[in-house]
Amino acid sequence: MAIASRMKLIVHPGLHKTGSTYLQHVLNDNHAALAAQGVWYQPQQGYPAHHHAVWRILLGDPAPLVAMVENARKAGCHTLVLSSEDLEGALYDDRPLAAIGAAAASTDVSHIEWHVVLREPGSAFASLYAQLQHHVYADAFQLFCDVMRRGFVHMAQPTPGHGTPYWYYAFDHLADLDRFQERADAPLFAHDFAHAAPFPGAGLLDHLGVLDALVTLPGRSARNARPAVDEIIRGFAERVEEAVPGDAEQARILDGFLTCMQNGLDNIETYAAIIGQRYAESHAGALRCFAPIQPAVA
């Protein structure tokens, strides 16, 4: 197979809770069909996102991306898609930008684009709170205060010793994307989670002209859907047990944990509504200012 010379890099950093997992399943499951169209998605065993590569990129290491570009070229592809919502951290951290820039320079990548999917901030907040129980204990009111005060949530070393070095969750979309655009020497496009068909993130593939090349779509199990209330409580309880493993200590904090959980679950929709109101204009402005360029009609 001929090796492509010029290479375009498409970076998809989520955002979190915008259908990224489903899009990654689509890309992974259709890897061969997309490669036949010149678009390379580094295939993953198990979970379909490029998380392991991105965790190194977040710390400034360009090597994983260099390897992906080389694989794309060997496959004769002209476009590489890098996808991990953990790259949302690039909205504020210069290290991943430097790593991606270094990888692009060393592999003669000719063009970089960033494509984010934005979800209404209140809905994203409620979904994020429910999702965090898989990984850490999080207090709903503390998260709410952080978002209202700063426009984002930052968690350093959420799973010490392995995984991502940090999580960054953006809610003040226009402010974050404006700051990012000032720092990144690459175009940035924002896709609307609410107006995406047949799935969130499909606009990215449509932008690349390969949406019709898909041969299969994953089932509903590929969607990282919001868990039921019982699962949320059970997940947060497991995270507390990991932090406080002793039975005696757990007994002493049980009432406090249950009170915090009940308060969070009773008020999460209120918090989400307030966040949605606070950042509604920022969200709408980001979608207007960073709308994907529509191809000219012949």
Strand partners, 118: 192
CA dihedral 116, 119, 124, 127 (to 10 degrees): -90
DSSP 227: P
Q: What is the pLDDT along the chain (298 residues), one digit of tens a residue?
A: 555 568 999 999 999 999 999 999 999 999 999 999 999 999 999 999 999 999 999 999 999 999 999 999 999 999 999 999 999 999 999 999 999 999 999 999 999 999 999 999 999 999 999 999 999 999 999 999 999 999 999 999 999 989 999 999 999 999 999 999 999 989 999 999 998 789 999 999 999 999 999 999 998 777 877 889 999 999 999 999 999 999 999 999 999 999 999 999 999 999 999 999 999 999 999 999 999 976 433 3
Residue found by looking up tokens 């965090």 in the block: 132
Question: Could you tell me if 137 and 236 are in contact, meaning their C-beta atoms sit under 8 angstroms apart?
Answer: yes
The CB density around residue 280, as the number of other CB atoms within 10 Å, is 13
Query: Strand, coil or helix: what is 200?
Result: coil
Amino acid at position 164, single letter? T
pLDDT single digits (tens) 32-81? 999 999 999 999 999 999 999 999 999 999 999 999 999 999 999 999 99
103 class by beta-carbon count within 10 Å (0-12 exposed, 13-18 middle, 19+ buried): buried
Sign of CA dihedral 110, 25, 13, 51: negative
pLDDT of residue 294: 60
pTM for the model stands at 0.94
The DSSP-derived string for 105-158 is HHTTEEEEEEEEEE--HHHHHHHHHHHHTTT----HHHHHHHHHHHSEEEEESS
Contact 57, 99 (CB under 8 A): yes
Q: Residue 197 has what pLDDT? A: 81
Could you tell me if 91 and 18 are in contact, meaning their C-beta atoms sit under 8 angstroms apart?
no
Alpha carbon distance 167, 105 (integer Å): 27
Q: What pLDDT was estimated at residue 128?
A: 97
* Adjacent-strand bridge partners of 99: none
Rounded Cα–Cα distance for residues 171 and 242 (Å): 29
